[in-house]
Amino acid sequence: MFKYGKAVCYQGYRKNHSIMKNVYPSKLEILEDLLILDKEFDYIRVYDTSLHTHDILEVISENKINIKVMLSMYLFVEENHINHQIFNEIDSDILEKNIMKNNNLCKDVIDLANKFENIIFSVSVGNEARSTWNVNRVSDKRISELVKIIQKEVVQPVTFCEEWKYWLTDLPLTAEAVDFISIHSYPVWNNIDINNAITETDKHLTKVKKIYPNKEVIITEAGWPTKTDGNKIPEEWATVENQSRYFNNISDWAKKNKILVFIFEAFDELWKGSSNPNDPEKNWGIYNDDRIKKFK
């Protein structure tokens, strides 16, 4: 379905930008980012239909940048996640309003996919809405319904992005509906060291493909952090050296297997996570916040 190429996840939020505060990068800053990424990557993945995404697509179009985009939509919580470790019950009226919000976001995705048909090569209805850690819970049935709604209105293939293991048991309706399956593979989050990381990712892909032999499977997130607070990832694992090794190994593996693998992520995003500067959520970028690459 997809031509092999190098791929990376991209959000352009720099120091003092914040999606939570609606403080977005300028189009000039986005252009600087995309000119950097265009030298190395063929595809980028974006995560929502915000003003930032609009600007990204316009910058690509206006400057004729040779990058194709996977467009995603944000999903608001639609059901209570009663097994979540910090479960707080959400009122039914809020959940009902969120269903309408997601319907509107679905329309936004359709509009963008049609407006930028030559740039957007695929569409995802959401991201990790079935992961146990995520309070933004959306049912398998509902995700599959959104997939079908979008499929009727766009020419691009439609998917849903989720950690590999949830595709094995938790997404039967969505797996049937999507045009292709998008998995996330993070060996480091599963206590797998750098020496065994690529073997582990290969296992993840193989297990999903075995269950869905008639579906193309790609990897829409795979990465390695360069700093950690030591909470879940050992400090000696989160280094530039290990990130460089992981990036080169996963890139070689992807090329050999002719599979799209989106590296997570392009640039460090300092707005994420806790106030601790070593929080791994801030340190997945292969480029620092100052746009200097961490390794050669």
Q: Is residue 235 part of a domain?
A: yes
In a domain, 106, yes or no: yes
**Residue 87 pLDDT grade (very low, low, confident, very high; cuts 50, 70, 90):** low
Mean of per-residue pLDDT scores for the chain: 95
Task: State which residues form the domain around 163.
Answer: 7-282
Could you give the C-alpha distances from 261 to 8, 44, 192, in angstroms and in order?
Answer: 8, 10, 19
pLDDT at residue 44 tops 90 = yes
Q: Does the pLDDT of residue 85 top 80, yes or no?
A: no
pLDDT, greater one: 88 or 36:
36
The percentage of residues in the chain with a pLDDT greater than 90, rounded to a whole number, is 90
Residue 11 maps to a domain:
yes
Residue 37: pLDDT band (50, 70, 90) is very high
Domain assignment present for residue 2? The answer is no
pLDDT digits (tens, 9 = 90+) for 230-275: 999 999 999 999 999 999 999 999 999 999 999 999 999 999 999 9
Residue 287 maps to a domain: no
CATH number of the domain to which 130 belongs: 3.20.20.80
- C-alpha angle with apex 184: 124 to 60, nearest 5 degrees? 45
CA 76 to chain centre: 16
Write the pLDDT tens digit of every residue in 278-289: 999 999 999 999
Q: Which pLDDT does position 296 carry in this prediction?
A: 87
Q: b/e string for 154-185 if b means 16 or more Cβ within 10 A?
A: bebbbbbbbbbbbbeebbebbbebbebbbbbb
* pLDDT band with cut points at 50, 70 and 90 for residue 19: confident
Question: Is 292 a member of any domain?
Answer: no
User: For 90-147, what is each residue's pLDDT tens digit?
Assistant: 889 999 999 999 999 999 999 999 999 999 999 999 999 998 888 889 999 999 999 9
Distance CA 129, CA 174 (A): 12
Q: What is the mean pLDDT of residues 163-187?
A: 97
At residue 80, the pLDDT reads: 83
Q: Considering its fold, how many domains does the chain have in total? A: 1
> Is residue 293 situated within a structural domain?
no
Q: Quick check: is 295 in a domain? A: no
> Measuring CA to CA, how many Å separate 106 from each of 70, 119, 179?
15, 18, 17
Buried b (16+ CB within 10 A) or exposed e, 83-92: eeeeeeebee
292 pLDDT higher than 70:
yes
